[in-house]
Amino acid sequence: MRENNLKINFNPGPAALPYVVLQEASEAILNYNNTGLSILSIPHRGKLFTDILEESKQLVKELCGIGDDYEVLWMQGGGRMQFCMVPMNFLSQGQIAAYVDSGYWSADAIAHANYYGDVKVLSSSQQDNYRHLPAWPSGIPAGTAYLHFTTNNTIYGTQWKDIPSCTVPLIADMSSDIFSMRRKYTNCDLFYAVAQKNIGPAGATLVVVKKDLLHKVNPGLPPMLSYAGHAKAGSVLNTPPVFAIYTSLLTLRWTKEKGIDNIESENKTKASLLYEEIERNDLFVCNVHEADRSTMNVCFGAANKTLEKKFIDYCEQRNITGIEGHRSVGAFRVSLYNAITVADVLHLVAVMQEFENLNKS
């Protein structure tokens, strides 16, 4: 056990949060900022929460380098709700919704869009089991309402490092790598991220949308299902997940204090340490194409499948948890979100080397 009694937690989400955030969040449950109130029991339309909302929105803008031409919204319903709301709001009759299919989550976004209208997949790496990114679409068909893609493929371990500019509104699911690196967020007209990876606890979803795009929202939607409705109500259309948003604010403050540049360089160091060990250590293999490898989710396997469960058990004995691959692909996935430290990764690498020595043939 470490000083803080917590395991090294490589879970994909809900994922590890910075320890100081957990401490501050716990204190706020007992007595929020000495107000004599628990954060769990403050009114969502009162000044205490309005201040939390405002500060969080401001920090999101700063961290993404975006201006007042964007609206920051806190919503609920997770990734799947966004998979529904994007086509519901922006796809109309006679138009096409264009998607890039780079893995499980893009495929699920496509499946959801199919409920609403004509969907066209412009490129996909599904045939190669998503071991690499698909080509970026070279042309956008006429009548395309928007192009949707997933910046980081949490389950297959690939990541778009750059956000290309696009001739139609570009919409990105950034759930598993928002705030992990310096990025051209302004190339997106709408991006969203569930909180439970780099932001906070499950229950809150961050949506950032260009005000221009809000004018294109399909009419006739009930406010709860309309981005314009949420924007108009300032993210308090109904009772929001106050505690999840507050804890997210604590992480946003931590992120700002650390600085995106430092976070990016640490994330690169963490990922390199792990990929290099996988390459060096004969017990492990990584089939993801090198150029496309994610800094957030490192997906790999054991060269000898019978050692997979043994390695997971060995890690548990050595205080490491959460390295199982997604149920759809198996093997290992180590999630290196912002709260994971270089020391955490060094510990894992040392454990991989111990395991190598124990299993020498």
Determine the size of the site formed for ligand PLP (CB under 6 A): 11
Q: Distance (Å, rounded) from C-alpha 32 to C-alpha 2?
A: 28
Instruction: Tell me, yes or no, if 173 is annotated catalytic.
Output: yes
Chain centroid to Cα 41, Å, comes to: 28
Spatial contact of 180 and 294, defined as CB atoms under 8 Å apart: no
Handedness of CA 206, 211, 217, 222 (dihedral sign): positive
Nearer to ligand PLP, 78 or 223 (CB): 78
Q: Which of 160, 177, 197, 292 is catalytic?
A: 197
173 binds ligand PLP (CB under 6 A): yes
Q: Which of 80, 120, 216, 258 binds ligand PLP (CB under 6 A)?
A: 80
Q: How would you classify the pairing of strands 144-150 and 158-159? A: unpaired
Nearer to ligand PLP, 89 or 351 (CB): 89
157 binds ligand PLP (CB under 6 A): no
| Spatial CA neighbour of 191 closest among 213, 223, 161, 221 | 213
Q: Distance (Å, rounded) from C-alpha 44 to C-alpha 176?
A: 28
325 binds ligand PLP (CB under 6 A): no
Nearer to ligand PLP, 108 or 356 (CB): 108
Smallest gap, in angstroms, from Cβ of residue 203 to ligand PLP?
A: 9
Smallest gap, in angstroms, from Cβ of residue 276 to ligand PLP?
A: 25
Q: Distance (Å, rounded) from C-alpha 156 to C-alpha 240?
A: 32
Q: Distance (Å, rounded) from C-alpha 232 to C-alpha 168?
A: 24
Q: Which of 10, 70, 99, 105 binds ligand PLP (CB under 6 A)?
A: 105
Instruction: Tell me, yes or no, if 74 is annotated catalytic.
Output: no
Q: Which residues are catalytic?
A: 105, 173, 197
Q: Which residues make up the interface to ligand PLP (CB under 6 A)?
A: 13, 78-80, 105, 150, 154, 173, 175-176, 194
